[in-house]
Amino acid sequence: MQRLNTCLYLILGFVAPCFCDTSFVGTNNTFFNVIDYGAKGDGKSDDTQAFVTAWQHACGTQGASTLVIPPKTVFLVRNLRLEGPCNATSILIQLQGEIVAPAKNEWINGLTIDEESNLILISKVNSLTVDGNGGLIDGYGSTWWACKRCTRPMILKFLSCNDLSVSNLMIINSPKAHIHVNFCDGAILSNINISAPGDSPNTDGIDISSSKNIIVEDSTFETGDDCIAITGNSSYINATRIACGPGHGISIGSLGRNNANDRVEEVHVRNCTFTNTKNGARIKTWIGGSGYARKIYFEQIILSQAKNPIIINQYYSDYVTNGGLEVSDVTYRGFQGTSLNDKAITLNCSSSGCFNIVLDQINIVSSEPGATAYCTIYNARGTATSTVPNCSLST
């Protein structure tokens, strides 16, 4: 009997550590909880370094790994950088708790804020999954918005992350843009909920730049600027089942600023709603730039008191010269609903013109009783069929 007990003690001595250590190596998935690396989760202590240390272990492990941000906790971080490349073949970030940004004065003390500043930067990490189910990121933007000329940080930036998946993520009140996808190839962002007041400056929902093969789907954006903005050198972008409003709509651009050579093509926006937005489906370019915006499709769009439901503006600047970035092969199909002002359709193209513009199955009326909605065309060529208000495009 004594020999049997001794054997049991020996066995338990080897097995027991497996039940208490969540960062052991040698399983199919290794878990790294930020609490185990010193994070307080009290909403007051700076937990940035604890997150970095936990990330370094998750990134450096072999096989699959999971970074756990546990529930019922509030983590204060600033200028958090989660960088690769990683040894892990895939990484899951489970955001179950809350991450909060510092107030404006706390950002400035000891930190330099520039155009590339972010609350969280994730860079050069492939096969990354971010699951925000149960979690929240609060940008504390209310401390910034009154200073419209201040250089403000963004909340979450993905830089050079391929095969990216982000789902069930809620972000509120960014000082500036909420999510930036930059130099990424292959990303699915689904069930994203972003909220900021309609008068908060430059609080874009998702900015996509220099990226391709990006899907944004089944998401809700309430912002003070573009719900989604697709900028230079991006292609094969799909936005589907997006509820936008308040905000400035879904925009291609702005493009060509500071004489830039910007190229955007194969953008598909489908089954979206614009409610009380400043714009709906928008393309905006600066005179003097070069490149193109082509093969753009806005289809099956529902409008409710949207200003400028359909708009191309090639004079997105304070000055006018000849030339400009080429806009062509743009289709607007299946629009229905109301415009808050009389400008239902505005195609304001530069002297070089917009080409192959298609308006089809459009029915936009004024939300004002007795008012008439109009179509305004400058230098646009294409076709208009079954379109209300009536539009006359040159062929």
Among 225, 226, 262, 329, which one carries the catalytic annotation?
225
The torsion defined by the Cα of 304, 310, 315 and 321, in degrees rounded to 10, comes to: -160
Q: What is the C-alpha to C-alpha distance for residues 314 and 323, in angstroms, rounded to an integer?
A: 10
Q: How many of the other CB atoms lie within 10 Å of CB of 369?
A: 5
Residue 38 CA, distance from chain mean position:
30
- Element containing residue 329 per DSSP (H, E): strand 326-339
Task: Show Cβ contacts of residue 98 under 8 Å, excluding neighbours closer than 6 positions.
Answer: 43, 73, 74, 75, 135, 136, 137, 138
Residue 249's identity, in one-letter code, is G
Concerning whether 225 is annotated as a catalytic residue, the answer is: yes
DSSP E strand boundaries for 142-260: 154-159, 164-172, 179-182, 185-195, 206-209, 212-222, 228-230, 234-244, 250-255
Query: Which is nearest to 208 in space by CA: 225, 186, 224, 184?
Result: 184
Residue pair 159/210 in contact (Cβ under 8 Å)? The answer is no
DSSP-derived pairing of the beta strands 185-195 and 212-222? parallel
Q: What is the C-alpha to C-alpha distance for residues 141 and 155, in angstroms, rounded to an integer?
A: 10
Q: How many of the other CB atoms lie within 10 Å of CB of 27?
A: 10
Query: Which is nearest to 285 in space by CA: 331, 201, 354?
Result: 354
Among 207, 248, 262, 329, which one carries the catalytic annotation?
248
Residue pair 54/36 in contact (Cβ under 8 Å)? The answer is yes
Q: Which residues are catalytic?
A: 225, 248
